[in-house]
Structure 1
Amino acid sequence: MQRFPVRPSLLLLPFLLVLVLCTVCAEGRSGAAQWGTFTRCVGRRAGRLLFSPGGSCAATRMYGQFRAMNRANCKKCDKYFHCMANSLAMSCRGRHKRRVAEVISLCREVSQPGNPKDRRGDEAANRFGRNGGNCGARYLRSYGCAYNPRTGRCKW
């Protein structure tokens, strides 16, 4: 059995994930997502891949976009943030980045009840970002999203 080289910083990842979830739940801006379902899903489907360099980088970058989305609180911008989270995850080095990005995206959709049409749109945005698409060109103005990536605010 092949073992991943363990960096001390990677050993902190499970604690960071718990801290992240506590922060998200405390913010109260996480929508109708069921965070217990999300964490079980990610743990079951990604497991040890989260501890690989590529996996931990992908998870961290996706979380960064989740935080940016919550801070901006812009209407009609969720597709842009889905796309960017996956795009940034793919810019990580390491072989497990794609799988971790796929798992996190899938588990986010599974844990969030809602409109099937919206879910399909989110999944398409996730794939577009993972495949290197231009998220800004596709999902900002054409979707009526007023988020400005340069300022991090919801105004052009």
Structure 2
Amino acid sequence: MVRADRIREKDRCMKVSTLSLLFTVVLLACLVSEGHGWFSSVRRKVRQGARFAKGAARGARDMYRGYSDMRKANWKNSDKYFHARANHDAARHGPGGRWAARVISNARENWQSGVSGRGHEDTRADQEANRWGRNGGDPNRYRPKNLPDQYMKVSTLSLLLTVVILACLVSEGHGWFSRSASRGVSRGVRRGAKFVKGAALGARDMYRGYKDMRDANWKNSDKYFHARANHDAARHGPGGRWAAKVISDARENWQSGVSGRGHEDTRADQEANRWGRNGGDPNKYRPAGLPSRY
């Protein structure tokens, strides 16, 4: 009995070692057949391979995140948007990310047309959205009307906030630089630095409010988070108030012009923004049952 167990254990070890050997041989064969001059520049090839693998892993992660968000949103006619967004995000990670996006998209569409029963036309439209995002196109081209803001790309929002703040500092901030000459450069620079610091802290509070609104995903809570974000940002002085106003206006302009929400909703949002920015208690807009951590 003991002898039989030892034989079985030996066979199992041989199977594992054989599989490992097979995998190693296949890997080396691929490196030799596709790497061409690999042995002449080992370090460079290894670095390239590592970058490719890292990009592919990150691209696969972004593809999964897009699929997960699509399922969670469960929003009518949103699939093309999430396809384009996932491919767009994955492709940012270079050749590996683009490769992963293409392979995963093709596998999913092959399954969809062959197993799920959806038609060829739907598969073609999905692949068009996949290619659009993978080639750097704006995923918002496919964004359906009224899709919740929580599915807006955070990186896009962060870029928007940064660009808006820098642009407005350059275009509107020249006044305090010119006045500082007559009042003393040192005092003017300190005032300017204080303003910029307040604007940065205010932008941080605005982003935190937006992130909390996304995380909470609570019905009728958007006005509360608008008021709270503006209230928190305005605590940082003129710079914070300025950042809150610029960011709120930019968001509402986007909302009314791109997302398809109506003028009345934009007006109500701006009322909440001003209420918080002017020192009003954000709890005026707090919906019943919203968890206390918010």
Counterpart of 2:220 in structure 1 is: 76
**What is the Cα-based RMSD across aligned positions, in Å?**
3.1
Change (3 A) 1:120 1:37: farther
Higher helix share: 2
d(CA) in 2 for partners of 1:127, 1:57: 18
Q: Could you tell me which residue of structure 1 aligns to residue 121 of structure 2?
A: none
Q: Which residue of 2 aligns with 1:128?
A: 275
The separation in 1 between residues aligned to 2:158 and 2:240, in whole angstroms, is 23
Matched, 1:151 2:282: no
Query: Matched residues in 2 for 1:46 and 1:109: separation?
Result: 20
Confirm or deny that 1:45 pairs with 2:192.
no
What is the match of residue 29 of structure 1? 151
Q: Give 1:135 shift.
A: 1.1
The residue number in structure 1 matching 2:177 is none
Match of 2:232 in 1: 88
- Counterpart of 1:140 in structure 2: which amino acid? R
Q: Give the CA deviation at 1:140.
A: 1.6
Higher gyration radius (CA) = 2
Provide the secondary structure at the position in 2 that maps to 1:96. Answer: helix
Gaps of 5+ in 1: 1-24
Change (3 A) 1:66 1:35: closer
SS of residue matched to 1:123: helix
8 Å CA contact 1:89–1:98 kept in 2: the answer is yes
Q: Which has the higher contact order (CA 8 A, sep 6+)?
A: 1
Compared with structure 1, are the counterparts of its residues 81 and 28 closer, same or farther at alpha carbon in structure 2 (3 Å cutoff)? Answer: closer
Unaligned runs of 5+ in 2: 1-84, 90-148, 174-191
* 1:46 shift after superposition: 4.2
Post-superposition offset of 1:43: 4.0
C-alpha distance in structure 1 between counterparts of 2:285 and 2:238, whole Å? 28
Asked if 1:102 corresponds to 2:224, the answer is no
Percent identity between matched residues is 32
Distance 1:101 1:46, change over 3 A: farther
**CA offsets per residue over residues 58-110 of structure 1, 9 Å max, x none?**
00011111111111111111000000000000122x43111111101001111
Corresponding residue SS for 2:238? coil
Q: Deviations over 1:31-54 (max 9, x none)?
A: 9xx859945544433457898110
- The number of residues matched between the two structures is 120
Report the counterpart of residue 117 of structure 1 in structure 2.
264
Contact 1:59-1:101 at 8 Å conserved across structures: yes
Q: Which residue identity does 1:97 align to in structure 2?
A: G
CA contact (8 A) 1:77 1:146 kept: no
